[in-house]
A and B are shown apart, each in its own frame.
Chain A
Amino acid sequence: MWLIFKKEFKELIRDRKTIMFMVVLPVLLFPLMIGVTVFFTSSAIKKAESEVLQYAMVGDAYAPHIAQAFIDDTEHFELIDIGDNTDYAALIKNETLDFVLVIPEGFTGDILASGQQKLSLYLNDAGLNKVMSRVSDITDKFASEYQSTAFATLGLNTEQQEALIEPLVIEKENIADEREVWGERIGGLLPYFIFFLCLQGAMAPAADLGAGEKERGTLETLLISPMERYKLVLGKFLTISAAGLITALITVTSMATWGIVISQGMAIEFVAEIMALVGILDFVLIFFMLVPIVAIFASALLTLSIYARSFKEAQSYMGAMVMVIIFPVLIAMMPGVELKGGWVWVPLTNVALAMKELFKGTMDYFALFGIFTSTAAIAAVLITFCVYWFNKEKVLFR
């Protein structure tokens, strides 16, 4: 069995395509893609915050102080004369203007007399822009002034003012610690991501070790070697499992490392916080729970691959299998599904739920028994079936 594993693994690491999926993609391409996305997003945000917005103001005569404030802020705003043109939408769409601010007739700062004042802001709010917040930065100052004047007129003290602005306040006393909050946020997505990586890493070698042998014409020669069929299957199964686990490990390690490097000064505290909250034991448990999961993937993939006549046929079967495997993980992300009762015994879903619980720090360690038993049992059944499958002439000589 180890002889088979050794030979298959040697071939695996000599395959450029596999190395691409296992190492190059996770170490360079994924982080590069994330880095580029982060770079462009942050650049776009910076640009939206700092670019000079071209605007027009209608009814400026009713609020000359507001109009003047915009005119004075030449670093951020540039007034454009639109004459009598009232087709604001067309002007914004053809990018002549970024926004039009309309001050209603009879506008006054005496809000006690006028009631609530409504300004209309015309803008194209599709895509990333900071128009609303930047306009609000200026108008809020005047709103605050109007408020203070009104309060002074009414003779209200500070406490009364606060009560009037916000009569009822709910003070949230969150009993969940920081770890539970972060665990709930990222713990649901993490299994989906890790499962997918394990599967992705195992797919290429699985297709090669089963259908690839048929296509190359090496399977027949292997079948007549004096090695028991179950050892041949186990050797191949171990290779596929190792590829899946290695891909997942490399990817997660790479993303964590690059995450720290790329987001220096941005999210480093966030990463450090998570790493500090989740203990080494939890990472070890996550890894051990992945072992039977990868075994399930590897045996299912090998079974399909052995059945397929060609590499291409194997890949099409595997594509369908991804959907089947992702479904139990999606169930774990649904609200109300928790690691309790029957869910402890549902393979894949239970591991996905357990990973979330481990991240949250709310893991019921007794559930591990059910998780390991059910996933290991399914893995054992699938491996046994794979060995049986590998002995069927109608499968091998299709």
Chain B
Amino acid sequence: MIEISGLAKRFAVENPKKLSEQEKKDPRLQGRYFQSVRDVSFTCEKGQVLGLLGPNGAGKTTSLRILSTALTPDAGSVKIAGENVLENPLIARKKIGFLSSSTGLYGRLTGRENIAYFGQLHGIEDNVIAARISEMADLLDMHSFLERRAENFSSGMKQKISIARAVIHEPELVILDEPTTGLDIMATSTVMEFIQRLKDKGTPVIFSTHHLDEVQALCDRVVVINLGETVFDDTVSAFSDLSGGRMHESFLKTLEGSKEAESNVVNF
């Protein structure tokens, strides 16, 4: 079981004096600090897919960066099978596969070399890496561009390589930050199928998205974050039932509690 509790993270604002009047009204702004994540807590069971929702600037990416150990939280814990992974980030990184929102690849390496490099960083043997790449090339339909340099890849190609790179070490938990953003229908479908396959294998997946149809199709649980706090954490059916099956309205309903504050939300 993945247990995230009480995550908090603040960032120093570079020039507090230069903030606009609207920015100054954001409730997360405290002096020269911006409280990006204030209290994020949720759980995810083995084999579950958890959809992380929230408006832009709500704190989703910061939360996922903390889960991936890219950022250190000011408070809170991330436990995988009862062990707080934040205490030993190097071990946590072996257990977690993370796909960031920017699908950056090394342009002068081929698709295969990009994936293999991260396999090597995880200390995996070359023959095992080759076998896993071959398997993922089948699943993600990557054979046609695997040996080409990544510099001219389309968004879909980049995303597929990035996903393969994130899971090359067969992690115990997969975190995907907006994995289908900017993809065409075919590429989106391939990514969705891949998430489903991870779910079938029993690997828990946490992914942030703005597409409620993806949540409905794949997720077991839904977590909504607003203004750096968890405002909803329950099953998809419970989420859907908030507005009689209308997902979009359910989402808006979860935000209602902090609606007044929401009008002042600013992306830092």
Contacts and interface: CB of A to CB of B under 8 A. Distances in A.
A217 B100 contact: yes
Interface in A1-16: 3, 7, 10-11, 14-15
Interface string B101-120: 01111111100010001101
Contacts of A213: 104
A11 B105 CA distance: 12
Interface string B81-102: 0000000001101101010101
A393 to B, nearest CB: 6
Contacts of B68: 224
Main secondary structure of the interface of A (DSSP, over half): helix
Contacts of B12: 394
A5 to B, nearest CB: 12
A270 interface: no
B93 A221 contact: no
Interface in A142-192: none
Given A7-B117, A11-B109, A218-B106, A224 B98 contact: yes
B71 A393 contact: yes
A3 B107 contact: no
Interface stretch (A55-63, A96-104, A120-128, A225-233): A225-233
Contacts of A394: 11-12
Contacts of A14: 108-109, 149
B69 A224 contact: yes
A216 B104 contact: yes
Given A225-B93, A393-B72, A220 B120 contact: no
Interface residues of B, number: 34
A224 B70 contact: yes
Nearest to A226: B93
Contacts of B96: 224
A7 B115 CA distance: 12
B121 interface: yes
B160 interface: no
A7 B12 CA distance: 34
A223 interface: yes
A3 to B, nearest CB: 5
A289 B183 CA distance: 53
B123 A226 contact: yes
Contacts of A219: 104
A397 interface: yes
Contacts of A218: 104-106
A123 B118 CA distance: 73
B94 A226 contact: yes
A7 B90 CA distance: 21
A3 B70 contact: no
A220 B106 contact: no
B165 interface: yes
A236 to B, nearest CB: 13
A195 to B, nearest CB: 29
Contact of A3 (B106, B121, B149): B121
Given A217-B103, A218-B106, 8 more contacts: A3-B120, A10-B109, A11-B106, A14-B149, A221-B98, A221-B165, A225-B121, A226-B121
Nearest 5 A/B pairs, CB to CB: A217-B104, A217-B102, A218-B104, A225-B121, A14-B108
5 contacts: A217-B104, A218-B104, A220-B70, A220-B102, A226-B93
